[in-house]
Structure 1
Amino acid sequence: MKILGRHSKSRLCVCLIFLITCVIYIEFVSYYFNSLNWYSLSCKDKHKCTKILLVADPQIIGNYEEPIHFLTPITIFDSDRYLKKTYLHAYDFVKPDVVIFLGDLMDEAHKASNEEFHQYVRRLFNIFLGHENPSIIRHIWLPGDNDIGGEDTMITKEKIKRFNHAFSQPSLITMKNITFFKINRLTSDIPVYKNKREFYDTNEIFVGLSHMPMMFKPSTFVEKVFDKMMPHVLFTAHEHKSMIISTNALLKQDFHIVPLTPENNQIFEYSLAMTDMYEIMIPTCSYRMGTDKIGYGYAVIEDNDLHFTVLWSPSRFHQLVFYVILIILIFFSSSAYVCYTCICNILRKRRNPARF
């Protein structure tokens, strides 16, 4: 019996070591190995170079709409932790000058009370700003339909006002030779810009920021934006996938689309203010959006040169599936071992009844 006990303890120790090793690898080491697949973008002159980290559709989970409602605290904890972890790795890799949040920051903000809205904002800041010095890094915030309405609910002045109060900043933001301007396709708003400029002027690069796609979904409003603001490049979101769309800046007729996936990831290089304008759609950074192709956009603009790549994140769904399989294996192996031990004990008692 003592030998059996020693064997049981040994097996238990091996199982525990295996479990701990799996958890450490999945929750920590795998993120480091994943970052080894990322492409680094270099600058020739750091004084002329602007590094941009792009965050799209984090849609932090709300309090009410989870399919299995009683698991909401667990899903919120896991989703927030995943976002914080992947963002931290991307942030440390890029070391950005500016971080741009392209809307749909919160999943249920458009339906939330004022108190709930501010709770969501505090969670959002804890995830993305908890480790930064906000006085050094610029942040640009855009609203999405999940933040102020526009698809499932109506847009109201109150929703717009509370979002602008929480994320107060102008619609035109200038850094070095770049002017970032916000486009709100949900409310058909663009900033007022009265200075005269030419599209081919490389002294000032105009970067349009929109939650909703522009070239991907043409309209009269899109034409108005192009005519008035003449962006050299647009960063957009909403579709939860990544692609680069280009068209001739004057004709705006034929659109060339390049889908971006982890399988075809590379560094894309463009000269801005030459002949074409570009729209770069950023994938969602949340694993809750029904896709495993998730990540962050990374762009560098120096003079009129644009370099772009996607920092793809590891699939949390694959990690969770592995955990489920591991739990099932442990359950069945433990059950089989218990049954085997019971059968052995019964047979031993039958063979040697006097000893028991």
Structure 2
Amino acid sequence: MRYSRKKIFLCMLSVLLIGTIVYIELFSYYINTYNWRQIQCQHRDKCTKILLVADPQIIGNHEEILHFLTPLTIFDSDRFLMKTYIHAYNFIEPDIVIFLGDLMDEAHRASNHEFHQYVRRIINIFLDTSSSSSVRHIWLPGDNDIGGEDSLVTKEKIERFEHAFSQPSFITFRHLNLFKINRLVSEIPVYKKKREFFDTSEIFIGLSHVPLLFKPSIFVEKVLNKMMPHVLFTAHEHKSMIINTDAHLRQDIHLTQVTPENHEIFEYSLGTKDIYEFLIPTASYRMGTNKIGYGYAVIENNDLKYTVLWSPSRFNHLILYGFLVFLLFLYSLNKILCKCCRLLKCSHRKKIYSY
């Protein structure tokens, strides 16, 4: 009877472990997509779907606190990014994918060899899973890619990034004009045509790693005055919010927090009065926040609709794994102690019989 109970307990523990792994690694990502809101197009040929990826910051080779666990943390983080990205990609079926910088965590300190290793990992995570040639991919550098916060921005770092992700700083797609803003070195594309903010025959979209309206400066004023963007997509803060202000007066700034509890689809008419900035949350669970996900924007004519596709909490997954490992540890410890007790009893009996 005692043996049968042990066998049943071991079978239950095995089923629990296998079932938990299957649920977490397969079904949890799929089930999470039921929380996402789909944005419908009225006319698909006039509608542009945009997937926004911010701060994936793939783990580098040197700066993990528990360095001996670096290969394991790299594997888990890369795999999480790949799984959440492919679900977001398949859900949206985007026309454009925009990577808003900080692709790599340690690229600003990396040797050329390490940098190219990191680039290959970026390609494996994001491009091998979404290989459609009709989708436009736009890449921006962040401070962890070329420097700017913890290290200096140098010409060599900028050229290295641009060589790996070669494309112009001004990109046209249908009636959208997307232009890159590098606040780290205060650069914007040269644009000499005259235009009015209220003219929405062409929509101007500014892309920047570092927020603009959120952190006003002389450079920000230059961007707004010369380029007159209708909308801005930015990152860096690892937060999700929408900022709007009057495009001409720019006196009062209104903030709208976007949280996982709020699955609202935000709708705006571009070129009417306000300029809008969308801060995209980080896609990585390693950034110290549970509020992680991907931005999802649809632009049709001069109407913009936006929501966030929130990712499941990897921390909760890892806590559950830790609990199961703890159960296995207790079971193994109990088995060892029972075996020791039996050996001690046998030894004691032998001594008694020897007398």
- Cα deviation for residue 5 of structure 1 reads 3.8
Quote the residue 2:200 is aligned against: 202
Query: If the length of structure 1 is used for normalisation, what is the TM-score?
Result: 0.94
Quote the residue 1:301 is aligned against: 299
Residue type at the aligned position of 2:235 = A
- 8 A Cα contact 2:294 2:308, kept in partner: yes
Q: Deviations over 1:198-247 (max 9, x none)?
A: 10011100010000000000000000000000000000000001100000
Q: Deviations over 1:141-185 (max 9, x none)?
A: 000000001111111111111111111101111111111010000
Quote the residue 1:164 is aligned against: 162
Residue 115 (structure 2) pairs with residue 92 (structure 1): no
Residue type at the aligned position of 1:189 = E
- 8 A Cα contact 2:86 2:130, kept in partner: no
Quote the residue 2:220 is aligned against: 222
Quote the residue 2:285 is aligned against: 287
Identity of aligned residues (%): 64
Secondary structure at the counterpart of residue 199 of structure 1? coil
- 8 A Cα contact 2:95 2:135, kept in partner: yes
Q: Deviations over 1:312-331 (max 9, x none)?
A: 00111111111112211222
Secondary structure at the counterpart of residue 55 of structure 2? coil
- Cα deviation for residue 333 of structure 1 reads 3.7
Secondary structure at the counterpart of residue 257 of structure 2? strand
- Cα deviation for residue 9 of structure 1 reads 2.9
Secondary structure at the counterpart of residue 122 of structure 2? helix
Residue type at the aligned position of 1:336 = N
Number of residue pairs the alignment of both structures matches:
352
Cα separation, 2, equivalents of 1:320 and 1:168: 37
Quote the residue 1:75 is aligned against: 73
Query: If the length of structure 2 is used for normalisation, what is the TM-score?
Result: 0.95
- Cα deviation for residue 338 of structure 1 reads 5.0
Relative to structure 2, which stretch is displaced further, 342-351 or 51-60? 342-351
Cα separation, 2, equivalents of 1:347 and 1:109: 61
Residue type at the aligned position of 1:282 = I
Quote the residue 2:44 is aligned against: 46
- Cα deviation for residue 332 of structure 1 reads 1.7
Cα–Cα, structure 1 residues 349 and 57, in superposed 2: closer, same or farther, change >3 Å? same
Cα separation, 2, equivalents of 1:147 and 1:260: 27
Cα separation, 1, equivalents of 2:326 and 2:263: 35
Match of 1:250 among 240, 248, 251: 248
Give unmatched runs, 5+ long, in structure 1: none
Cα separation, 1, equivalents of 2:170 and 2:145: 20
Query: Once superposed, what is the RMSD of the aligned Cα atoms?
Result: 1.9
Residue 185 (structure 2) pairs with residue 187 (structure 1): yes
Cα separation, 2, equivalents of 1:113 and 1:157: 15
Cα separation, 2, equivalents of 1:45 and 1:294: 31
Give unmatched runs, 5+ long, in structure 2: none
Cα separation, 2, equivalents of 1:335 and 1:69: 28
Quote the residue 1:260 is aligned against: 258
Secondary structure at the counterpart of residue 172 of structure 2? strand
Residue type at the aligned position of 2:43 = D
- Cα deviation for residue 18 of structure 1 reads 1.1
Residue 115 (structure 2) pairs with residue 117 (structure 1): yes
Cα separation, 2, equivalents of 1:50 and 1:27: 32
Q: Deviations over 1:90-143 (max 9, x none)?
A: 101111001000000001111111111111000000000012225221000000
